[in-house]
Structure 1
Amino acid sequence: MTMTLTKKAIEWRRHMHQYPELSTKEFKTAEFVANKLAEFGLEVHRDIGGTGVVGILKNGTSPRAIGLRADMDALQIHEQNTFDHISKNSGVMHACGHDGHTAMLLGAAHTLAENPDFNGTVYFIFQPDEERGTGAKAMIADGLFTRWHMDAVYGMHNIPGVAKGKFVTRAGAIMASESSFKIVIKATGGHAALPHMGTDPIVVGAQVVTALQTIVSRNLSAIAETAVVSVTNFETNGTVNVIPSQVTISGDTRSFTDATLHKIEKAIERVVAGQCMAAGVDYEYEFNNSYLSTINTQQETIHAVTAAEKVVGADNVNGNCERYTISEDFSFMLREVEGCYILIGNGEGACGGTALHNPLYDFNDDILSIGIDYWMTLVNDQLPK
């Protein structure tokens, strides 16, 4: 890749970093992306699943086609960096590197349009609303895979703490599902001095929180059903001298298979129902899945690893990395089409190691060219002349 394109990619990335937009509101970002794709000569489709953009590049006669996906939305975080390209939208920042992902995919589109050394069709998918987990589903519902045929779809995300430019991925589940739960325990409450005259939801709620910890340790296989169940909030409507009439418990769960996800959903309600029945109180229970587990298919993972090795060398690619309990809505695309999600190292320590979703995070511009080269290599490998 030329130094000129590298400079352009940095300019694009820093422009988007200065003007971040929240999920479903990526209007200017989507327009910026669509205009660039049109400038490169691609067929452009706007407003897919809201603010999503799809660019289409065809070359040759092969019916084979692959999709490459980047995310565009930012987070509701007030940036604390001091560099020149800091966010100009107060309270909103690209704290997850989606500006970098978009710039890398734009760079690949630019280069492949100028030098189409492939045979087939490439779909450049710029997705909104990854952070809330609804953008991929919205694009799918809007015909992403029915309007356009794709043999496989690939995604990439930066990962701080992994050396700059190294790649990690794995076949099977690489990221966990995420689900939230809400439990409302309803009792009579009463006077703090006369607890025997009512029912106390705090005691029941405390027992529920303790019992929930047994789901992972006593209901799931430690080897085959790795999972996390975390209670993150406990609220009451009581005060210092009033036993509350209601307790609300909410939390988050992570797992790597759909079977484990459903087992956790049922187990939580079983625990709640048992504790509430024993105490003679009522309850309400909600369980909502935001992200499915991200499951890479075997052959597409091999393709992704092979392309990465060509770019950075086999020593810098781990094709059997440990699983991550973070979540990604690319998971929904992988339930529709075979594909692979790969992570590219953003750097370590002060040079790219700041955690995602942190007000001091910034995407490492040094990996833009590596990511662009990866996309180009993957396309040329999968759609050979």
Structure 2
Amino acid sequence: MRKSFKRACLAAAAAGLFASAAQAQVIQPAQLQDLGQRVEALQAKMVAWRRDLHQHPELSGQEVRTAKIVADHLRALGMEVKTGVGGTGVVGLLKGGLPGATVVALRADMDALPVKENTGLPFASTAIGRNFGKETPVMHACGHDGHVAILMGVAEVLAGMRAQLPGTVKFVFQPAEEGRSEHPKHEEEPFGAKAMIAEGVLDNPKVDAIYGLHLAPGPATGSVGYRVGPMMAGADGFTIKVTGRQTHGSRPWDGVDPITASAQIITGLNTIVSRQLDITAVPTVVSIGAINGGNRENIIPDTVDMLGTLRTFDNKLRDDARKRIAHTAATIADSSGAKAEVKFSAVSYPPTVNPAELSKQAVPVLQAATGGKAIQIPLVSGSEDFSDFQLKVPGFFFILGAPPKGRAPAPNHSPLFDFDEDAMPVGAKALAALAIDRLAQPR
């Protein structure tokens, strides 16, 4: 099938999906103009918040200073505020002045990464934190400082429009999106979105829809990127322990070589994607990122340990791929007399999937809020635990384009990562518009 035909089919499907949605849009041009003016008036504040947070980053689950700044801001706006939700999470509740039962949640993640900053920015981080007991430089290398500043701005804008709002807005400031930075009491202990959900962030009052965004080096500043359906990959980490029998390197026949078995397993795992799964339907990635075994050139060891990651965009395919990984490793090891034990990490992220019905409401609003600069983007193989919220309630996630000015864009998680602060008002206006429009929609 030719790519041009595929694009035509996708374009036609998208046109059909949103043709009726545009007519259902509730937010009006005058409201958008007012909203834009309110957001622009806060740009300097958002920049100041972002730069302060950037200079004082905190690792996952340790966002104490960040949480206090957020909580103090929300309280100053007259909101009901809960702290310590899911660890260091903060939730603000804004009740509108008009009758309405709809509850909309807006989410921002707060944590930084164990990365040494190399941007040379005047507000660059020099912070040191403790990551699993070891001192490490800390940096906001994924834009979460911008996410927090944007949502603080949205909170101030919507609090100023309280009298015009029907229903309720929850502001969800989430810790530990990037994972853990400390050892849990037990492996199954939830963190990040899962921990906030377990502590009732989507209840009392029950959330009808949740929205979130992520800063990225593209598309261009002023634009946002979206997809309907699967957007970001699910992520599953796994370990493979291959057990053989140690022997002298000169006499491999006296033992069982787990290194050779491991090499064959890696080759076999690559065929799962290339030969066993229909990747024309949904892309899949299986990668081995670490392999450790042995300590001398003339000793064949007892064991080899491997670390890997699985990325999928469909939950059924995810389950199938997990089974194939375990089966492939076990049978290849068995064929050489070794044993392979596969364990999938309790730390996993489902695919981020924007449901069609909520997308019908959201995409026209994004187009209106950005002046027609909402564009469909390719699948993203990175992962986001916003997907955990989407498993519980309808959720819509989008990318906020913000390539930095005057320097080459660096990918998220790079020590060179930075973003164009002019994108923050665009993100704030989009999130606020999505909330206003959804509150006015029939429940």
Which is further off, 142-151 or 9-18? 142-151
Separation of aligned partners in 2, 1:298 and 1:330: 17
Aligned residue number for residue 126 of structure 1:
173
Shift of 1:365: 0.9
**Other structure's SS at 2:201 match:** coil
Give the conservation status (yes or no) of the 8 Å contact 2:409–2:418.
no
Separation of aligned partners in 2, 1:186 and 1:163: 50
Shift of 1:201: 0.9
Separation of aligned partners in 2, 1:352 and 1:238: 42
Aligned residue number for residue 305 of structure 1:
363
**Other structure's SS at 1:69 match:** strand
Counterpart among 332, 338, 354 of residue 410 in structure 2: 354
Separation of aligned partners in 1, 2:432 and 2:312: 33
Tell me which amino acid in the other structure corresponds to 2:419.
F
Separation of aligned partners in 1, 2:408 and 2:366: 20
Separation of aligned partners in 2, 1:205 and 1:165: 48
Q: Which residues of 2 match residues 192-341 of structure 1 at below 5 A?
A: 192-288=249-345, 290-314=348-372, 316-318=373-375, 320-341=376-397
Aligned residue number for residue 96 of structure 1:
142
**Other structure's SS at 1:68 match:** strand
TM-score between both structures, scaled by the size of structure 2: 0.84
What is the CA deviation profile of residues 113-162 of structure 1, one whole-angstrom value per residue up to 9, with x for unaligned ones?
11223211000110000001830000000011223311100111111131
Separation of aligned partners in 2, 1:363 and 1:44: 30
Which is further off, 256-265 or 280-289? 280-289
**Other structure's SS at 2:359 match:** helix
What is the CA deviation profile of residues 322-360 of structure 1, one whole-angstrom value per residue up to 9, with x for unaligned ones?
211110000000000002001110126845722110111
Give the conservation status (yes or no) of the 8 Å contact 1:65–1:121.
yes
The yes-or-no answer on 1:24 pairing with 2:70 is no
Give the conservation status (yes or no) of the 8 Å contact 2:405–2:420.
no
Separation of aligned partners in 2, 1:138 and 1:264: 27
Give the conservation status (yes or no) of the 8 Å contact 2:109–2:176.
yes
Separation of aligned partners in 1, 2:62 and 2:284: 33
Q: Which residues of 2 match residues 37-186 of structure 1 at below 5 A?
A: 37-59=74-96, 60-90=98-128, 91-116=137-162, 117-132=164-179, 134-186=191-243
Give the conservation status (yes or no) of the 8 Å contact 2:403–2:419.
no
Aligned-CA RMSD value: 1.6
Q: Structure 1: which 5+ runs fail to align?
A: none
Aligned residue number for residue 187 of structure 1:
244
**Identity of matched residues, %:** 38
Separation of aligned partners in 1, 2:317 and 2:435: 35
Equivalent pairs, count: 383
Which is further off, 345-354 or 266-275? 345-354
Separation of aligned partners in 2, 1:287 and 1:229: 13
**Other structure's SS at 1:302 match:** helix
Separation of aligned partners in 2, 1:299 and 1:165: 25
Aligned residue number for residue 32 of structure 2:
none
TM-score between both structures, scaled by the size of structure 1: 0.96
Give the conservation status (yes or no) of the 8 Å contact 2:245–2:302.
yes
Aligned residue number for residue 27 of structure 2:
none
Separation of aligned partners in 2, 1:112 and 1:188: 66
Separation of aligned partners in 2, 1:356 and 1:138: 24
Separation of aligned partners in 1, 2:229 and 2:115: 32
Tell me which amino acid in the other structure corresponds to 2:365.
A
Separation of aligned partners in 2, 1:347 and 1:266: 40
What is the CA deviation profile of residues 235-255 of structure 1, one whole-angstrom value per residue up to 9, with x for unaligned ones?
102411111111112211100
Separation of aligned partners in 2, 1:172 and 1:368: 25
Shift of 1:4: 4.2
**Other structure's SS at 2:237 match:** strand
Separation of aligned partners in 1, 2:351 and 2:256: 40
Question: Structure 1: which 4+ aligned runs deviate by more than 4 Å?
Answer: 348-352
Tell me which amino acid in the other structure corresponds to 1:89.
A
Separation of aligned partners in 1, 2:390 and 2:407: 32
Shift of 1:321: 2.4
Tell me which amino acid in the other structure corresponds to 1:287.
F
Give the conservation status (yes or no) of the 8 Å contact 2:294–2:301.
yes
The yes-or-no answer on 1:369 pairing with 2:425 is yes
Give the conservation status (yes or no) of the 8 Å contact 1:161–1:348.
no
What is the CA deviation profile of residues 172-231 of structure 1, one whole-angstrom value per residue up to 9, with x for unaligned ones?
110010011111111112111111211111111111111111101111112223200011
**Other structure's SS at 1:124 match:** strand
Give the conservation status (yes or no) of the 8 Å contact 1:118–1:379.
no
Separation of aligned partners in 1, 2:46 and 2:254: 69
